[in-house]
Chains A and B, each alone.
Chain A
Amino acid sequence: MSLMNVFNTGESALAANRMWLEVIAGNLANAQTTRTDEGGPYRRKVPLFSEVLDAEMQGVRVSAIEQDQSPLQRVYKPGHPDADKDGFVSMPNVNVVTEMVDMIGVQRSYDANVTVMQAIKSMANKSMDIGR
Chain B
Amino acid sequence: MRIDGFRTPGVGQAFGGFPAFGDFPAMPEALSSDSKMPSVTDSFEASEDDGPGAHFAAILNDAIDSVNAQQTRSEQITMDFALGKAVDPHAVMIENAKAETLVHLTSSVTNKMAQSFQTLMNLQI
Stretch from B14-22, B33-41, B50-58, B98-106 forming part of the interface with A = B98-106
Q: Interface SS of chain A: helix, strand, loop or mixed? A: helix
B97 on the interface (CB 8 Å rule)? yes
Count residues on chain B whose CB falls below 8 Å from chain A CBs. Answer: 13
CA distance in complex: A31, B104 (Å): 49
Among residues of B, the one whose C-beta sits closest to the C-beta of A124 is B101
Main SS of the interface on chain B?
helix
- Of the four ranges (under 10, 10 to 19, 20 to 34, 35 or more), the interface on chain A belongs to 10 to 19
Residues of chain B contacted by A99 (CB below 8 angstroms): none
Tell me the residues in window 79-132 of chain A with beta carbons closer than 8 Å to chain B beta carbons: 114, 117, 121, 124-125, 128, 131
Chain B residues, Cβ within 8 Å of A15:
88, 90-91
Contacts of A117 in B (CB 8 A): 94, 97
* Contact across chains for A10 and B94 when beta carbons are under 8 A apart: yes
Tell me the A residues contacting B by CB distance below 8 Å.
3-4, 7, 10-11, 14-15, 18, 114, 117, 121, 124-125, 128, 131
Residues of B within 8 A of A (CB): 88, 90-91, 94, 97-98, 101, 104-105, 108-109, 111-112
